[in-house]
Chains A and B, each alone.
Chain A
Amino acid sequence: MKANVKYNLVWLIMMVAGFYLMNTLILVGVIDSFIENMLVTIGINIILATGLNLIIGFAGQFSLGHAGFMAIGAYATAIVTQTASTPGGFYASIFIGIVISIIAALIVGVPTLRLRGDYLAIATMGASEIIRILINNMKITGGAAGMFNIPQFADWPTVYIMVCVTTIIIVNFIHSRAGRAVKSVREDEIAAEAMGINVTKWKLAAFVLGASTAAVAGSLHASYLQTIAPNDFGIMESISILIIVVLGGVGSITGTFVAAVVLGVLDTVLQNFGALRMVIYAAALILIMIFKPSGLLGTWELSIKKIFSRSKRKERVES
């Protein structure tokens, strides 16, 4: 048990160090608001993509509807902070977004999660589009014009902490009894069921957890950007999250981080290429996939535990 404390401590120190590093860089002026913008976008994408990776990579359920849940969180925050324009209101709005997205995920997931593969993908895509179209036609959401002048409560420290928190939740979920159950569903539903795993329940658990982190990302997106519109949450947004997951490696959270950073930086750098940016982006995407078919990192994970035990083994060998 002492070992566990040690590993957790290392992770904690890494997170705090990362925070200080960023803070210092901002104070020194290395990170200006342009780079900060990029980092925040990357952070939000990490939250979205780890959640989707949980659903696709670990539970093996091909969902293409992540943007819909993101939209729920974003609009919850936009609407709530319009009247309750305080940090408290903002955190309450995140919570409300999570609750609504959980309900939506249950409504979508209970019937559709029995579908397989591409059929599930298209059903979840449809569900997400339905959410978007409803938002597009509602009064409270501002319709197609979306909402702007949303008060900004999510600055980069908020996003940083939320990235840490959601990642901790998802990673701890994966490395636990729940995560094993979810992975067994991915591997073989029939065998899992025969071993006492309630397949429906665990699929749903992963789906709901992924959806609620997407809602958190949506809240951050709305509050940081201060403007949202239904078109931000279309099929293309779901696809761009999927791209991060696959590019990083389906089933690797570390990979998701790497891919989110790589794509985020790539996208920002390409901003200098004007009209060619999307052409280069597309070509890069194809080439990476052809030369790295299982994603940048495959299923490799960074693990402090493994590093420790490896160095220990080395010591033993040397002595």
Chain B
Amino acid sequence: MSKLLQVENLVKNFGGLTAVSNVSLHLDNNELVALIGPNGAGKTTLFNLLTGVIPASSGSIVLSGENGTYPLNGKRAYKIADMGLSRTFQNIRLFKNLSVLDNVLIAMTSKFKEGFIPTIFRFPSYYKTEARLVAEAKKLLAIFELTDDVDVLAKNLPYGTQRRLEIVRALATKPQILFLDEPAAGMNPEETANLTQLILKVQHSFHITILLIEHDMSLVMNLAQCIYVLDHGSLLAQGTPDEIQANPAVIKAYLGEEA
């Protein structure tokens, strides 16, 4: 069986600057992988390339599905999202002036289609679809203990809750692969611990693959089955947490500074 997501020789140049150079990686079904590296290593850029926010300069990204493989290069972000790659953002990008429920419902837009005429003239089928949609969204929100906040505007939520909502929103697109960009940023140790549990729960109950960027090493080492280390745009190392912790190059480039 081929890998779920296969990335080969991915390159991104911004003018003269090479932000990502020749990165190859792969994700397996139901795997939890971490991407680490110092600030400016190109981690978020890599995320942006994988989710189609910015186009790659060269290289290939291939998704394997039940009926064969689909190249993702050059596809618009919404198409990639439709194919099952969803994400959160480093600097939270919720729909701030919309309610928590709407935030989740929006992510379900492409999954629940309803014609223009039935929508405009409020055919019974419209109410049915809408009711199903809301039920599903509320179910998801319940899992993340956001039921009480359904009608709250996203911008009025506390910071940690906003991060949680972003994960819910990403899950609402029914992804195969979930990209989490620093989910624990700005959280205290207790919140981080809760988040760790939550991520594990998500992975298991939704059977999805997760790739996460994180600076909190306790979280990374606890969760990840495999770690990629990025430095100056290129891959420095890959392996299990134990291997990475023992890798001299990584220690030098990254962990070494802390030691």
A–B interface present (Cβ within 8 A):
yes
Chain A positions near chain B (C-beta within 8 angstroms): 1, 4, 8, 168-169, 172-173, 176-178, 180-181, 183-184, 187-188, 190-199
Q: Could you tell me if A172 and B121 are in contact, using CB atoms closer than 8 angstroms?
A: yes
Known: A176-B119, A188-B93, A191-B89. A4 touches B106 (CB 8 A): no
Report whether over half of chain A's contact residues are helix, strand or loop; otherwise say mixed. helix
Give the top 7 A-B pairs by smallest Cβ distance, nearest first: A196-B81, A187-B95, A191-B93, A193-B77, A196-B110, A195-B107, A184-B106
Task: Knowing A177-B133, A184-B106, A191-B93, say if A196 contacts B82 (CB, 8 Å).
Answer: yes
List, in ascending order, chain A residues with CB within 8 A of B172's CB: 195
B252 proximal to A (CB < 8 A): no
| A187-B97 CB under 8 A given contacts A197-B106, A198-B78 | yes
Contact sample, A vs B, 26 pairs, CB 8 Å cutoff? A1-B131, A8-B122, A172-B120, A177-B105, A177-B119, A177-B129, A177-B133, A184-B95, A184-B98, A184-B106, A187-B98, A191-B93, A194-B53, A194-B81, A195-B78, A195-B81, A195-B86, A195-B107, A195-B109, A195-B169, A196-B107, A196-B173, A197-B106, A198-B76, A198-B78, A199-B78
Instruction: Give Cα A8 to B127, complex, Å.
Output: 12
Bound Cα distance from A169 to B117, whole angstroms:
9
In Å, the complex CA distance between A198 and B81 comes to 10
Query: Closest CB-CB distance, B91 to chain A, in whole Å?
Result: 11
Closest residue of chain B to A188, judged by CB? B93
Mark interface residues in B153-181 (1 if CB within 8 Å of A CB, else 0): 00000000000000001101100000000
Residue pair B78, A197 in contact (C-beta under 8 Å): yes
CA distance in complex: A196, B170 (Å): 10
Tell whether, in the assembled complex, residue A193 and residue B121 are in contact, meaning their CB atoms are under 8 Å apart: no
The reply to whether the CB of B216 lies closer than 8 angstroms to some CB of chain A is: no
Q: Mark B88-119, 1 if CB is under 8 A from A, else 0.
A: 01000111111000100111011110101001
B98 contact set on A, CB distance < 8 A: 180, 183-184, 187
Cα–Cα, bound, A227→B18 (Å): 63
Of listed A168, A176, A194, A199, residue having the most chain B CB within 10 A? A194
| B43 contacts the other chain (CB 8 A) | no
Determine the distance from Cα of A193 to Cα of B52 in the docked complex, in whole angstroms.
9
Q: Is the CB of B93 within 8 A of A190?
A: yes
Task: Verify B78–A187 contact, CB threshold 8 A.
Answer: no
| B87 CB–A CB distance under 8 Å | yes
Measured CA separation A180–B133 after assembly (Å): 13
Name the distance in Å between B198's Cβ and chain A's nearest Cβ. 20
- A183-B98, A184-B95, A188-B95 are known; give 18 further A-B pairs, CB within 8 A: A4-B127, A172-B120, A177-B112, A180-B102, A180-B106, A183-B95, A187-B96, A187-B98, A188-B94, A190-B89, A191-B93, A191-B95, A192-B95, A194-B53, A194-B86, A195-B169, A195-B173, A198-B76
Closest Cβ–Cβ distance, residue B155 to chain A (whole Å): 10
Per-residue CB contact flags for chain B residues 48-70 toward chain A (1 = under 8 Å, else 0) read 00011100000000000000000
Q: Which residue of A lies closest to B95 (CB)?
A: A187
Of chain B, the residue at the smallest CB distance from A179 is B119
Residue of B nearest to A198 (CB): B78
Contact with A along B170-213 (1 / 0, CB 8 A): 10110000000000000000000000000000000000000000
Cα A198 to Cα B110 in complex, Å, equals 9
Q: Which residues of B contact A173 (CB under 8 A)?
A: 119-120
- A173-B97 Cα distance, complex, nearest whole Å: 18
Which of B120, B133, B169, B173 meets A169, CB within 8 Å? B120
Q: For A191, list chain B residues within 8 Å (CB).
A: 89, 93-95
Residues in chain B near residue A180, CB distance under 8 A: 98, 102, 105-106, 109
Q: In this complex, what residue of A is CB-closest to B179?
A: A194
Whether the pair B127, A193 counts as a contact (CB closer than 8 A) is no
Cβ of B16 within 8 Å of any chain A Cβ, yes or no, is no
Min CB distance B233 to A, Å, is 22
Question: Given the complex, which residues of A lie within 8 Å of B82, measured CB to CB?
Answer: 196
Q: Are B124 and A1 in contact (CB under 8 A)?
A: yes
Chain A residues contacting B129 (CB-CB under 8 Å) are 177
Which single member of B53, B107, B131 contacts A190 (CB below 8 Å)? B53
User: Would you call A176 and B130 a contact (CB within 8 A)?
Assistant: yes
Question: In whole angstroms, what is the CA distance A4 to B128 when docked?
Answer: 11
The chain B residue sitting closest to A4, CB to CB, is B127
A76 CA / B127 CA spacing, docked (Å): 36
Cβ of B126 < 8 Å from any Cβ of A?
yes
Question: Which residues from B are CB-within-8-Å of A197?
Answer: 78, 106, 109-110
| Of the residues B53, B78, B95, contact of A196 by C-beta under 8 Å | B78
| Assembly CA distance A183 to B95 (angstroms) | 8
Q: Which residues of B contact A169 (CB under 8 A)?
A: 120
Contact A172 B93 (CB under 8 A): no
Specify the chain B residue showing the minimal Cβ separation from A3.
B127
Q: List residues 194-243 of chain B with CB under 8 A from any CB of chain A.
A: none
Docked complex Cα distance between A196 and B124 (Å) = 26
CA distance A190 to B48 in the complex (A): 10
